[in-house]
Amino acid sequence: MSTNSEIFLNDFNQFEKFLQEKYNNSNYMSYRDMIRNASYNNGIIKRFKRELYLFGDLRNVLVHNTRINGKIIAEPIDEVMEKFETIVKEIQYPEKVTKFKKLVHQCSSDDKLSKALNFINDFKISQVPIVQDGKIVDVLNGNHIASWLAKKENVVPSQVNIKDVLVNADRSKNFAIISETISIYDAAEMYKKSFQQPPVNWYFDAIIITPNGKNSEQMTGIIVLKDIASYMHID
């Protein structure tokens, strides 16, 4: 029966080969450099970078420093084995944003404000995507509405067009559109980076999902911050 160290070394070698093929065109690069380089553009590897470094250190220890008469004298505990297996599966078979597929309640820019307010109240949602001429153009939320109302008197929502609320709104068009093929961790990384992009110190209001990430396609899902916060990695 194989020991934990033998299983780990075999699985690690297979994982390292996978990384070489996927992220370095099968060219040689040290494991640590490969993880560092891949983490710049891959949300999953960035999320687990520290753990992946530790697994590399463990491999080095098992191969180089813990043998007597050719036999390994240290064994990875079962919890480490399970953690390694879980992370490798996450990287090789990343969960996609299709997890957030749902009916998206949307409005036209020419719709009345009352329609959006009814959606927000009836479906307990915070963001309403806005479509104009068949394209996604903005996302309306309670902050936009409250800011607009504060400047008005005697407003009748059923007589106000949504485009009139958004025309001078602060932080308008603060959203992104992604395809269904994007991993959840990559979407989380987009959300994280949005905090440093204009408007600075403000996350995206929403990330909208379409089949191929195009604004002219049917919306198949929407992600707001609370949906994805647990996937966001803080450096």
Q: 208: domain CATH number? A: 3.10.580.10
What are the residues whose beta carbons fall under 8 Å from the beta carbon of 109, sequence distance 6 or more? 130, 131, 132, 137, 138, 161, 162, 163, 166
- Both 35 and 130 in one domain: the answer is no
- Both 172 and 125 in one domain: the answer is yes
- Both 108 and 79 in one domain: the answer is no
- Both 119 and 198 in one domain: the answer is yes
Residue 71 CA to residue 67 CA, distance in Å, equals 5
> Which tens digit of pLDDT belongs to each residue from 111-150?
999 999 999 999 999 999 999 999 999 999 999 999 998 8
- Both 164 and 51 in one domain: the answer is no
Domain finish residue from 68, 94, 120: 94
- Both 126 and 83 in one domain: the answer is no
pLDDT at 232 over 90: no
pLDDT at 169 over 70: yes
Count of CB atoms situated within 10 Å of the CB of 50 = 10
- For the chain, what is the domain count? 2
Verdict on whether the full-model pTM lies above 0.95: no
pLDDT of residue 155: 87
What range does the domain containing 85 cover? Answer: 4-94
- Both 106 and 90 in one domain: the answer is no
Question: Could you tell me the pLDDT band of residue 75, with boundaries at 50, 70 and 90?
Answer: confident
Nearest by Cα to 143 from 222, 199, 213:
199
Top pLDDT among 71 and 232 is at 232
- Both 40 and 121 in one domain: the answer is no
Domain finish residue from 55, 79, 94: 94
pLDDT of residue 64: 78
> Which tens digit of pLDDT belongs to each residue from 181-221?
999 999 999 999 999 888 778 999 999 999 999 999 999 99
